[in-house]
Amino acid sequence: MRIIAGRHAGRHLTSPGGRVRPTPEEVRARCLDLVTEELKDASVVDLFAGSGAVGLEALSRGAASVDFVENGPAALHALKANVAALRESARTRIFKKDAVAWIEGLEAGRYDIAFVDPPYGSKKLDRVVDRWRAVPFARTLILEHDRSHEVRAKGKQHDFEGQTRITILRA
């Protein structure tokens, strides 16, 4: 797993292994290509961050800051190692919390972009979308989910090989 574009292009990242499903490079690249203009100087949150690959890619491509929310021990270890290896601790914050509970405290407009990649098949994606519809804590919500999952809001969808779908919602 590596950073694809920007100032950290080509740098390798640590993967937590186990039950974590890292976003494939192709999906990550395409996803961030879709919001290239919005990334410049953006405040970003990476919910269910895992290794932090998506958020770190956003920093590499010009985001001003990224908050990572993750509560799995192996993922947190990899995430902290990746932030340190890229020397990005000044532009990042890591929250060891359940992402669904964590967003309950966010106000509208807190972030420019939110990346959301919960475990496929969980109800957490719907809970994040419901909260965002009630309080749009990010201008743009980017969801990575199983293609069979119907998102409870209308957005632009992009399908990839296998089961992966990206849905982009805008406030």
Q: Any idea where the domains of the chain sit in the sequence?
A: 25-170
pTM for this entry: 0.94
Q: Is the pLDDT of residue 19 over 80?
A: no
In this structure, of 27-36, 45-54, 59-68, 104-113, the range with the lowest mean pLDDT score is 27-36
User: Percent of the chain beyond pLDDT 90?
Assistant: 77
At residue 150's C-alpha, the angle toward residues 148 and 155, to 5°, is 120
Q: Is the pLDDT of residue 22 over 90?
A: no
Q: What is the pLDDT of residue 20?
A: 67
pLDDT in tens, 41-90: 999 999 999 999 999 999 999 999 999 999 999 999 999 999 999 999 99
Round to whole Å and give the CA distance between 163 and 13.
24
CA torsion angle 49 51 53 54 (round to 10): -10
Q: Report the top-level CATH class of 25-170.
A: alpha beta
